[in-house]
Amino acid sequence: MFDSYLHPRIKPSLERAAATLDKPSISPDGLTLIGFAIGVLALPFLALQWYGAALVAIVLNRLFDGLDGALARRRGLTDAGGFLDISLDFLFYALVPFGFILADPAQNALAGGWLLFAFIGTGSSFLAFAAVAQKHQLDNPGYAHKSFYYLGGLTEGTETIALFVLSCLFPQWFVWFAWVFGALCWMTTFTRVWSGYETLKRVGG
């Protein structure tokens, strides 16, 4: 919901940082892989209930995710880079709820499973539409910084990271956060499926 408003405001800072990193030895895909490796650390940190360390890993992962895109825009966006970025993003989004499940299976398993179930809905509707939109050469000017058509919703990247940050700061409230956010994800899924279907009908798909 907030991605299209937040990204243009942080884009200048990311572009300045990318200009500093724009060296032959540094590639956008390399930043993507480093960011993912850092993000993966959140899983054992959460399982061990080291919530402060997990929060640092999550924030650094998202920082690298912004930097790799900014550097890619300087060098030229590629399909391979876009594929790598979105694939690792979705894996990262899944490992955080799983980490909370491992931290306290008795307390968090059901809510964490609900959240992962909801993430499958938002992820599949997002990627399925993006694939077909590419075929019809559709574009969304609100997300011009993306390498593929980005269909928005109530729960996008900004809201998901806010959920992760709040869960790390207040792990005792993870169950409630997960149930509520999962419900919002399903609202996003339903609106994406409906709006995507209607959009593709209009273009003759």
pLDDT tens digits along 121-142 = 999 988 888 777 777 666 654 4
Q: What pLDDT sits at residue 143?
A: 41
Q: Which fold has domain 3-202?
A: Four Helix Bundle (Hemerythrin (Met), subunit A) (1.20.120)
Radius of gyration of the chain (CA): 17
pLDDT tens digits for range 34-82: 999 999 999 999 999 999 999 999 999 999 999 998 999 888 888 899 8
- Planar angle of CA 86, 90, 94, nearest 5 degrees: 170
Q: Average of pLDDT values for 172-192? A: 95
CB–CB of 119/97 below 8 Å? yes
Q: Are 68 and 142 in contact (CB under 8 A)?
A: no
CA dist., res. 79 & res. 24, Å (int): 20
Instruction: Report CA 122 to chain centroid distance, whole Å.
Output: 11
pLDDT for 146 equals 47
Q: What residue segments make up the domains of the chain, in order of their start?
A: 3-202
Q: What is the reported pTM? A: 0.85
* The pLDDT value given to residue 175: 98
Tell which wins on pLDDT, 164 or 16.
164
- Model confidence band, residue 145 (pLDDT cutoffs 50, 70, 90): very low
The pLDDT value given to residue 24: 87
Helix (H) or strand (E) holding 24: none
